[in-house]
């Protein structure tokens, strides 16, 4: 799968980096450096992110098709 250019807002990126560091501390009892957390975040965004993004697109497509079917059920039939 080709890599996506996903750009995170600075505030979101900072929050995710801190979240990764907290996870490593609480779940693995390891301290992760900021650089390590940044590299892991980049890996997740570039390698795993496209699969999650595509799944979101598929779910949205399915949901919208179901709503369109509902809409067609409201059609008035000519007498």
What is the structure's pLDDT at 3?
61
3-state per-residue secondary structure call for 16-40: HHHHHHHHHHHHHCCCCCHHHHHHH
pTM for this prediction: 0.74
Single out the residue of 4, 38, 8 nearest to residue 21, CA to CA.
38
What is the structure's pLDDT at 51?
93
What is the structure's pLDDT at 2?
56
Q: What is the pLDDT along the chain (79 residues), one digit of tens a residue?
A: 556 578 899 999 999 999 999 999 999 999 999 999 999 999 999 999 999 999 999 999 999 988 887 777 777 777 7
- Give, in order, the Cα–Cα distances in Å from 67 to each of 12, 54, 76: 32, 20, 17
């Amino acid at each position: 799968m080709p890599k996506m250019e996903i750009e995170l807002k600075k505030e979101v990126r900072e929050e995710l980096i801190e979240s990764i560091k907290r996870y490593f501390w609480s779940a693995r009892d390891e301290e992760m450096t900021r650089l390590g957390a940044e590299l892991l975040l980049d890996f997740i965004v570039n390698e795993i992110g496209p699969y999650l993004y595509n799944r979101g697109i598929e779910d949205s497509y399915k949901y919208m098709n179901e709503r369109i079917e509902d809409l067609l059920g409201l059609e008035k039939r000519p007498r």
